[in-house]
Amino acid sequence: MKVDAVKGELKSAEIKKTEELLEQWRKELFGLRMNSLTSHVKDYSLFKKLRQNIARALTFLQQKKSAKEVL
């Protein structure tokens, strides 16, 4: 997924949806790590992309929760 698409999806998503995306990306990263231990991974750049998406999701989640507290 492109960076702009990820950012747009995270901005428009509710807190629940953001948490679901975060969990999905964490599972993908875990699976990728397991595959790297047991077999060959074709695209090692996926590690970095998933970690960045997880960080983005955590940032947006924190912003949404803090904005919700202010209201």
22-42 pLDDT per residue, tens: 999 999 999 999 999 998 889
pLDDT, residue 25, reads 97
Give the number of residues written for the chain: 71
The pTM assigned to this predicted structure is 0.89
Q: Is the dihedral of CA 3, 1, 35, 60 positive or negative?
A: positive
pLDDT, residue 40, reads 86
C-beta of residue 32 within 8 angstroms of C-beta of residue 54: no
d(CA 32, CA 27): 9
The separation between CA 26 and the C-alpha centre of its own chain, rounded to angstroms, equals 7
43-63 pLDDT per residue, tens: 999 999 999 999 999 999 999
Q: First-to-last CA distance in the chain?
A: 32
Half-sphere exposure of 61 (CA within 13 A, CB side): 15
